[in-house]
């Protein structure tokens, strides 16, 4: 049976043995950055360089410069896949300042953790039938960075859970929908794709989807969204590394379009999935070729 193995500061251990100090500032003060990515085509990480760039950009907010090369992350992913027995992996990378040694935020060497588990992508029924979402009024702390501070997001996801919904969308105090707690949000009206770029995380999946959407005759617009814009959409999508592109068919109890996944979501999901396989294999081959 597959057995989960994680890496702590570059050392691979059984999941049950993967620990960090109680003095780590990630635990003690909630200071940390993270990324989530997945593998394709037999264990090849997708867009690893892009995810690491965003990880280091987030870590720079608390003074951490890049200190682990991409080659080491790639090596650990391959080794964990080999010894764990999983086919494809969901990989979480976490960076913290390390153990608190002085003052409130003084730290020694940074801590870095790789949590690699079986992929567990959404079931096919989620793509076939779509998922539901709610909106809630809040704004994520440091919205353009991917940090471990999920306090406001927890509120939204708790509301979503009570409503039986899959995702919760932030609505800013100014009344604009910015992103999902765990995803980017996109709206389709006719052949226009609209998505926020302010007060939200720059999405790697969303960016990868754009050329595929444009090749299907859709035009891409970066603009503000409102709740009414969601409610009146022909299609609403959420994007993330593991879910890829997932159709949302109801928001706040209101059906979106026909109440079923639209044709663009279904077409683009197949195209995006294959594009990820191809890209992951190309990147792996480029590394192997030196």
Instruction: State both tokens at 30.
Output: 């909630």
Mean pLDDT in runs of 10 for the chain (290 residues)?
92 96 96 98 96 98 97 97 96 98 95 97 97 96 94 96 98 96 98 96 98 98 97 98 98 97 96 98 90
Return the pLDDT at 87: 95
The answer to whether 192 and 234 have CB atoms below 8 angstroms apart is no
Distances from the Cα of 101 to the Cαs of 3, 6, 60, 109, 123, in angstroms? 35, 26, 20, 10, 45
Return the pLDDT at 78: 97
CA–CA separation, 13 and 17 (whole Å): 6
Return the pLDDT at 288: 85
Return the pLDDT at 289: 82
The answer to whether 139 and 152 have CB atoms below 8 angstroms apart is yes
Domains detected in the chain: 5-118 (3.30.470.10), 124-277 (3.20.10.10)
Return the pLDDT at 290: 72
> C-alpha dihedral over 232, 234, 240, 242, to 10 degrees?
130
Return the pLDDT at 102: 95
Handedness of CA 189, 194, 195, 196 (dihedral sign): negative
Beta strand segments in the chain, E: 5-8, 11-14, 33-40, 44-45, 89-96, 100-102, 106-107, 111-118, 131-137, 167-171, 177-180, 184-189, 192-195, 219-222, 235-240, 244-251, 254-255
Return the pLDDT at 208: 98
């Amino acid at each position: 049976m597959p057995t989960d193995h994680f890496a702590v500061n570059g050392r691979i251990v059984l999941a049950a043995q993967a620990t960090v100090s109680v003095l780590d500032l990630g635990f003690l003060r909630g200071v940390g950055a993270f990324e989530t990515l997945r593998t394709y085509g037999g264990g090849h990480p997708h867009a690893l360089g892009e995810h690491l760039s965003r990880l280091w950009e987030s870590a720079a907010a608390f003074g951490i410069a890049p200190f682990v090369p991409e080659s080491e992350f790639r090596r650990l992913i391959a080794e964990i896949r080999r010894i764990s027995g999983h086919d494809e992996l969901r990989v979480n990378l976490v960076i913290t300042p390390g153990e608190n040694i002085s003052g409130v935020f003084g730290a020694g060497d940074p801590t870095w953790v790789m949590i690699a588990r079986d992929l567990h992508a959404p079931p096919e029924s989620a793509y076939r039938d779509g998922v539901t979402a709610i909106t809630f009024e809040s704004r994520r702390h440091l919205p353009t960075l991917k940090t471990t501070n999920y306090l406001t997001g927890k509120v939204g996801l708790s509301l979503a859970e009570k409503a039986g919904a899959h995702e919760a969308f932030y609505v800013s105090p100014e009344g604009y929908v910015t992103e999902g707690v765990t995803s980017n949000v996109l709206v389709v009206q006719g052949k226009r794709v609209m998505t926020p770029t302010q007060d939200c995380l720059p999405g790697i999946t969303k960016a990868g989807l754009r050329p595929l959407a444009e090749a299907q005759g859709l035009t891409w617009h970066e603009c503000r969204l409102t709740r009414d814009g969601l409610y009146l959409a022909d299609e609403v999508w959420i994007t993330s590394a593991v879910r890829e592109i997932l159709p949302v068919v109801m928001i706040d109890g209101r059906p979106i379009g026909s109440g079923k996944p639209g044709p663009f979501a279904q077409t683009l999901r197949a195209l995006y999935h294959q594009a990820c396989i191809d890209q992951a294999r190309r990147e792996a081959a480029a590394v192997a070729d030196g």
